Amino acid sequence: MARIGVAMSGGVDSSVAAALLVEAGHEVVGLTMNLWPAWLPDPDDAFRACCGITAIGDARAVAQRLGIRHYVLNLRAEFERAVIDQFCDEYARGRTPNPCIACNRAIKFSILLRKVRALGLDRLATGHYARIAYDPALDRHLLLRARDAEKDQSYVLFALTQEQLRRLLFPVGEYAKPQIRETARRLGLAVADRPDSQEICFVPRGHYSDLVARRRPEAARPGPILDRAGQQVGTHGGVGAFTVGQRRGLGVAAGRPLYVTGIDPARNAVLVGEARDLLAAEITARQVNWIGGGIPEGPVRVTARIRHGGRETPARAWMDQTGALRVRFDEPQRAAAPGQAVALYGGEVVLGGGVIDDVTPAVRPGEALAAAGALEVSRGR
């Protein structure tokens, strides 16, 4: 029997994770992080954030039902500094951050894991849909995809280390979501049918760009929208409101679909082009982590995922002389953006990943213009 702290968000996944461990005979302690920013109004029933006051009450009720101790940890200041500020900084820099990855890296599997150890507990369990296995031949812990491919969250866990994996448990990773809800109903947990929390937990209403504009006013300054020839085709209301691949909200009448292909904060410009201009042949990533511990000596074949819920694609990955991760796709990928993460897989095993820093387009701007000109000539125009 182990003494296990469970990160209880008030949702059905973490609640069932705690319940499964109780049923297995472990000593379980519920730990709920109060992350909700003090400057935001408390969320209501229409928005039951995983880190709000309502969620704390839900987690406490589940702990009482399971007969386990429950503690609330005030990590508001740490969350604001490591996740919200980082989120706003990245958008102001023209990048597309994933706040879940920042939270996992800086809060859940760093601060919370340290508090678990300080409480004298052996392991930390969460409600993430992923799996951990031990390979005795390699003497390594492996991070695996969840059994439920639709709910798999391994993409946001690429930064986990061997030391962290040794102390982590993902009890729901072996189950499909309907099984988790059915288990919650069987145990009489009130959260059995609670909807999944939304992606950005600290943006309860409105658009994320409203938050960025309030906290980083420089990202809300109007500026030019430039086409691939550098010609101004419109005016935007702030680079913090745009992401690569975006089509809606450009306010540009071009007679053809245009997409955000890049953001240039130095010029305070939003760059637009056609769908083909979104295709990436290769990406360069930093903040790299190889979960197995060893850095490959040369290129390795992998499958790569560049967004949560996105499909994996075959690729070749290697570390260059600067210490950056390079990933070249077998087929160009759409809308890869600086700030996003790339996760690398070998079969069902997560090999590691990094944060995208640069994107090599499949079609260079000059090549695209030349191709367009040749097409016009061929049409006799």
Q: What are the residues whose beta carbons fall under 8 Å from the beta carbon of 348, sequence distance 6 or more?
A: 144, 145
DSSP letter assigned to residue 97: -
Q: Domain check: are 304 and 357 in the same one?
A: yes
Q: Domain check: are 148 and 281 in the same one?
A: no
Please check whether residue 182 lies inside any domain of the structure: yes
Please check whether residue 173 lies inside any domain of the structure: yes
pLDDT higher than 70, residue 295: yes
pLDDT higher than 80, residue 293: no
Residues facing 30 on adjacent strands: 6, 70
Describe the crossing of helices 12-23 and 177-186 by its angle, rounded to 10 degrees. Answer: 60
CA distance 65 to 170: 21
- pLDDT the model gives residue 371: 43
Please check whether residue 18 lies inside any domain of the structure: yes
Q: Distance of CA 192 to CAs 184, 186, 201, Å?
A: 5, 9, 20
State the CATH number of the domain containing residue 314: 2.40.30.10
Last residue of a domain, one of 237, 257, 273: 273
pLDDT higher than 50, residue 143: yes
Please check whether residue 216 lies inside any domain of the structure: no
Q: Domain check: are 19 and 70 in the same one?
A: yes
Q: Domain check: are 172 and 281 in the same one?
A: no
CA distance 205 to 269: 27
Q: Domain check: are 181 and 322 in the same one?
A: no
Please check whether residue 212 lies inside any domain of the structure: no
CA distance 13 to 8: 9
Highest mean pLDDT among 40-49, 168-177, 305-314: 168-177
Q: Domain check: are 181 and 49 in the same one?
A: yes
Please check whether residue 372 lies inside any domain of the structure: no
State the CATH number of the domain containing residue 123: 3.40.50.620
Higher pLDDT, 297 or 21: 21
- pLDDT the model gives residue 204: 72
Give the pLDDT band (50/70/90) at residue 42: low
> Can you tell me the mean pLDDT for 13-40?
93
Q: Domain check: are 115 and 234 in the same one?
A: no
Query: What is the count of structural domains for the chain?
Result: 3
Condensed to tens digits (0 to 9), the pLDDT of residues 190-240 reads: 999 988 876 688 887 768 999 999 999 999 999 999 999 999 999 999 999
Q: Domain check: are 229 and 160 in the same one?
A: no
Q: Domain check: are 260 and 328 in the same one?
A: no
Q: Domain check: are 29 and 166 in the same one?
A: yes
Condensed to tens digits (0 to 9), the pLDDT of residues 340-374 reads: 999 999 999 999 999 999 999 997 655 544 444 43
Least confident of 3-12, 124-133, 162-171, 293-302: 293-302
Is 103 known to be catalytic? yes
**Domain ranges, residue 246:** 221-273
Please check whether residue 373 lies inside any domain of the structure: no
The count of other CB atoms within 10 Å of the CB of residue 380 is: 5
Please check whether residue 193 lies inside any domain of the structure: no
- pLDDT the model gives residue 256: 87
Q: Domain check: are 259 and 302 in the same one?
A: no
Of 50, 88, 100, 103, the catalytic one is 103
- Start-to-end CA distance of the chain, whole Å, equals 78
Contact in structure between 4 and 125 (CB atoms under 8 Å): yes
pLDDT higher than 80, residue 39: no
Q: Domain check: are 259 and 289 in the same one?
A: no
Is 50 known to be catalytic? no
